[in-house]
């Protein structure tokens, strides 16, 4: 297992971590590990491609696309 050292931690933040750890019945180290697991341990949700495209074209006022009318589907060929 790896370990890290956190320097220059704000005193108020350390105090809140100690209080939070006590509320959960854990040590400060275990509380910090749990916070890291919750925040960093989860994989990021997949990007929403539609939202990304809309955000890009919104700057230009959107995009109007004329969609051609759909034709009925052809019957599939028979292979007998």
Given a cut of 80, is residue 15 above it in pLDDT?
yes
Centre a 10 Å sphere on the Cβ of residue 31 and count the other Cβ atoms it contains. 19
pTM: 0.53
Six-digit token pair at 30?
């275990």
Structure tokens at 11: 């005193």
What is the three-class DSSP state of 22? helix
CB 17 within 8 A of CB 27: no
Check pLDDT > 80 for residue 70: yes
Q: Residue 22 has what pLDDT?
A: 97
> Each residue of 31-52: pLDDT tens digit?
999 999 998 987 877 789 888 8
The pLDDT-based confidence of 13 (bands split at 50, 70, 90) is very high
Residues in the chain: 80
């Amino acid at each position: 297992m790896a370990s890290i050292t956190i320097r220059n931690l704000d005193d108020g933040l350390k105090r809140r971590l100690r209080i939070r750890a006590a509320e959960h019945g854990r040590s400060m180290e275990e509380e910090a590990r749990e916070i890291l697991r919750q925040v960093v341990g989860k994989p990021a949700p997949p990007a929403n491609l539609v939202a990304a495209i809309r955000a890009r074209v919104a700057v230009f006022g959107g995009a109007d696309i004329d969609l051609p009318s759909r034709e009925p589907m052809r019957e599939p060929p028979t292979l007998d």
